[in-house]
Amino acid sequence: MKDSKKIKFSFLIIVVICIVVNILGCMISAMYWSSWFLFGLSVITLGVFTYYIIRKLSYLNYIIEGSKRIKEGDINYKLELVGNDNFTYLAENINNIGEGLGNAIGNQLKSERMKSELITNVSHDLKTPLTSIINYIELIKNDEDMLQPEHIKDYIHVLDNKSKKLKLLIEDLFEASRASSGNLELNIEKIELSQILRQSIGEVEEKLLDLGLDIKLNMPEDKVYVNADGRRLYRVLESLLSNISKYSLNNTRIYIDIGISNKIVILTMKNISSYELNFDPNELMERFKRADESRNTEGNGLGLAIARDLVSLQGGKFYVDIDGDLFKVRLEFPSVDK
């Protein structure tokens, strides 16, 4: 407040000095040249100039007060933009700073929320198989003499499945961490996309058919090439097709298309979800976010997050779109000449 008063007081002193000097100069000129008309014209001009200066000074003081409000925490406060000069530009920049602070705070809160959800979800997904493993080990230990061989065999089978699930979760966590940090060694080479897509579909085709899912595949007759790491790209496609098998409504169609537009290869996958998709598409790419929030289906919610990061590391783009119950994923890679 003191700073704004000092600025205002300094400008007032300058304005007063200018007025006094100009009036004296005009009076002297009028007496010397006997031209009171010139004196009157000078006074009017000076008055207009003084009014202009005072208005700008008032607007500057308004900008200073507004910036103080933003500094004190009122980040939603907006300065009114008046005119089209440097003061207007200054006010606009201060508004942008307020918006930037608001976005930064919002992102920080979202990050804290995601960290909290991540810890909760990781704990849940680790606890479930670990609890089963511990329980079955306790059964074997406590009833070792009474257990029939076939029961022991069943228990070992359960332990094996739970251990593999736990191992897969830990591997996915490790992969997600490396992919998001960019700490992955990639072997980028020219890949024929149609071929690797057919291989990926072949791995899950039987499971998809068992669920009554009809695959509609649309690809160009000519081969389509992209620069990518074959192993990582296969992991991406495998993850996307795995999601389709888990979350698609039974007895519906799956549309998979490859096309080229403006030297960009576009791969899209579309399916009808069996779960209500009542959230933002970007939320699905958060770690451990799942379409089935009840967590009754297989999976750990890392698939899309890993796929997005792997595509980005290979120079591609990854998009998710939701339209009602229609779930759509789009991958884009620069086209490579044959």
Model pLDDT for residues 249-302, shown as the tens digit of each residue: 999 999 999 999 999 999 999 999 888 777 776 766 664 454 445 445 454 456
Q: According to the model, what pLDDT value does residue 295 have?
A: 47
Q: Identify residue 148 by its one-letter amino acid code.
A: Q
Range with the poorest average pLDDT among 52-61, 207-216, 311-320:
52-61
How confident is the model over 182-204, as pLDDT tens digits? 677 788 999 999 999 999 998 88
Mean pLDDT of 244-249: 88
Q: Average pLDDT of the chain?
A: 77
More confident residue, 331 or 145: 331
Phi, psi angles (nearest 5°) of residue 298: -70, 160
Residues 6+ apart with CB under 8 A from 192: 223, 224, 225
The sign of the torsion formed by the CA atoms of 243, 246, 248, 252 equals positive
Question: Is the pLDDT confidence value at 31 over 90?
Answer: no
239: number of CA atoms within 13 Å, CB side? 25
Query: Residue 182: left if φ>0, alpha if ψ -120 to 50, beta else—which one?
Result: left
Mean pLDDT of 209-224: 91
C-beta of residue 248 within 8 angstroms of C-beta of residue 297:
no
What whole-number distance in Å separates Cα of residue 15 and Cα of residue 22?
A: 10
Q: According to the model, what pLDDT value does residue 193 have?
A: 93
Mean pLDDT of 26-40: 57
More confident residue, 166 or 192: 192
More confident residue, 338 or 216: 216
Q: Which token pair is 77?
A: 């406060």
- Percent of the chain whose predicted confidence (pLDDT) is above 70: 68
Residues 6+ apart with CB under 8 A from 4: 61, 64, 65, 68
**Cα 291 from chain centroid?**
18
C-beta of residue 176 within 8 angstroms of C-beta of residue 302:
yes
Q: What DSSP element (H or E) covers 45?
A: helix 36-71
Does the pTM surpass 0.75? The reply is no
Q: Which of 251, 319, 244 is nearest to 285 (CA)?
A: 319
